[in-house]
Structure 1
């Protein structure tokens, strides 16, 4: 069961669906070239991509295809409404977009490290990053931080898992996949970047450094 959709979460999902439909059925591949985000040193990088890449997902029939946007939106539907109600719309928007930006920055840092280790500049510059995963990992991390004892149920796991174990699990798995190169084509360090930002913001707000509305 999913919680009732709240306004900001609903609008983010609608925007993602609109971007996906236009990207695949109206302006393919131009939308992907313009609105996915490239490494900051790439000649294809444009400043607006830092935001727009959060609304882009894998093209139909390529890579993980449709499952990319489906999984992201289902995850957002599961965690987003609760946080939106607790934090208020303004802080929720800040959480979402700063997590997505943090995801991009950490992915750039990883790309820079790869370049120093001899990775192909042409490859780093030409492969874009896309998806709401970084922003959504921030939402999940914030939920885990604010509601550590909430019991979560996952497919194929026959028992509930407390939310406080979700964040370290995300970090460990993403670090392993990122350093090992497993599941190529996925920006694992972007997931970590989003989760870190989500954790920091939630920790600040939870500790009442900033009052939650």
Structure 2
């Protein structure tokens, strides 16, 4: 029998998959605990955590059984498969979707297995006593392991990264071949995983009631992964990333440049209209093509999108670019938040120019007075803490006190300034 041992994927998202590592650590701790307790047998302990046909009314057992494994070999290869396919999903799509995949994959795969096993037990008549005994134990022996749940990540990976390649070694009759192979993800998943489990599930586990591997749980996990992947729009995200990658390559080429890149970025934007990073790249390409009106509009959309997505570092950079190139500002307190982010990420020169322009704009339009005062306070802070102009900072505060005597927002500043004068 030929199998595979995946070792990694061709293109890995950057970052540390903390949720994936936490799950692996939890499985390892549970395995150590079950080994240390040493009740009558591993099966007697595992049965407290596992699911079989008679315990379908206890959903928590479908979740607890994914942490329990029969031996080190079972644990090691499950965790290896899980890390290879789950870590990229977590890094690309986030922790919330990761844990939803764990929850849905565990429940769906176990109940799918219980339902299909019951179907074969009801409709396939045993041909001899041995088969009847095997069928009985198939219904009553609890299932353990996370392979059903991790199968959901395998098919989710296929939907999200089907263009990638997987690095693996072949395993023939339990003996790995010491050579690294690189194979497209769709071949690895559909041929070596889905078709293999489908054949063994129907023939061995279903018709003949043989073996101790729950192939139906694997098939249920594959189906759960497909369902959630398409529900979350992983197929759209894959197309989006494909166009973004090509647009980045086109932008670097001297023969295509921004003109070709902007068209490709617009194609990527169709699959996620509110993506702040793509909007920012379109704004930059438009600026390089001297289409300043379009550049300004896309910078505005990018700032709004990035503020919703809580990408502080990129939002600060976008605000700096938008102001430097188009004098583009928010006419609200949101602009002061952007200026704070510029200061946080070290661009205080642009922040100083932006807050000065913002204060002039607010003053000319006669808008909210408190915004003007807050802007002036930020300007005084920049002059004092970053520019080293303490005297100019003090003059800004004194000017505010002269222009708006008795304003509640200036009470504390007036007291501090008076105390400083008395001390002098």
Q: For 1:43 and 1:180, how far apart are their aligned partners in 2?
A: 25
1:35-54 equivalences under 5 Å are 35-39=49-53, 42=54, 46-54=58-66
Is 1:77–2:83 an aligned residue pair?
Answer: yes
Match among 33, 43, 51 for residue 22 of structure 1: 33
1:46-125 equivalences under 5 Å are 46-58=58-70, 65-116=71-122, 117-118=124-125, 119=132, 122-125=136-139
TM superposition shift of 1:101:
1.4
Q: For 1:130 and 1:105, how far apart are their aligned partners in 2?
A: 13
Is 1:206–2:262 an aligned residue pair?
Answer: no
Q: For 2:30 and 2:86, how far apart are their aligned partners in 1?
A: 20
Q: For 2:187 and 2:227, how far apart are their aligned partners in 1?
A: 16
Instruction: Give per-residue Cα distances to partners, 1:127-159, cap 9 Å, x unaligned.
Output: 011100011111111111110110112113654
**1:153 partner SS:** strand
Is 1:162–2:168 an aligned residue pair?
Answer: no
Is 1:11–2:22 an aligned residue pair?
Answer: yes
Deviates more, 1:114-123 or 1:23-32: 114-123
- The aligned residue for residue 62 of structure 1 is none
Is 1:172–2:172 an aligned residue pair?
Answer: no
Is 1:186–2:213 an aligned residue pair?
Answer: yes
Q: For 1:168 and 1:23, how far apart are their aligned partners in 2?
A: 34
TM superposition shift of 1:202:
1.2
Instruction: Give per-residue Cα distances to partners, 1:53-98, cap 9 Å, x unaligned.
Output: 111111xxxxxx3211000111112122211011110111111221
**1:35 partner SS:** coil
- The aligned residue for residue 333 of structure 2 is none
TM superposition shift of 1:197:
0.8
1:118-157 equivalences under 5 Å are 118=125, 119=132, 122-156=136-170
When normalised by structure 1's length, the TM-score is: 0.84
Q: Is the 8 A contact 1:35 1:52 kept in 2?
A: yes
Structure with the larger helix share: 2
Query: Residues 192 and 206 (structure 1 numbering): CA distance in 2 closer, same or farther, change over 3 Å?
Result: same
Larger radius of gyration: 2
**1:154 partner SS:** strand
**1:185 partner SS:** coil
When normalised by structure 2's length, the TM-score is: 0.44
Instruction: Give per-residue Cα distances to partners, 1:142-194, cap 9 Å, x unaligned.
Output: 11111011011211365421112233222211011112217710000110110
Higher RCO (CA 8 Å, separation ≥ 6 residues): 1
Q: Is the 8 A contact 1:37 1:128 kept in 2?
A: yes
Q: For 2:136 and 2:201, how far apart are their aligned partners in 1?
A: 20
Q: May I ask how many residue pairs the two structures share in their alignment? A: 205
Q: Any stretches of 5+ residues in structure 2 without a counterpart? A: 1-6, 126-131, 171-178, 238-271, 276-308, 310-424
RMSD of equivalent CA atoms: 2.7
Deviates more, 1:23-32 or 1:98-107: 23-32
Instruction: Give per-residue Cα distances to partners, 1:41-63, cap 9 Å, x unaligned.
Output: x16974321110111111xxxxx
TM superposition shift of 1:38:
1.5
Q: Is the 8 A contact 1:38 1:45 kept in 2?
A: no
Q: Any stretches of 5+ residues in structure 1 without a counterpart? A: 59-64
Q: For 2:81 and 2:212, how far apart are their aligned partners in 1?
A: 20
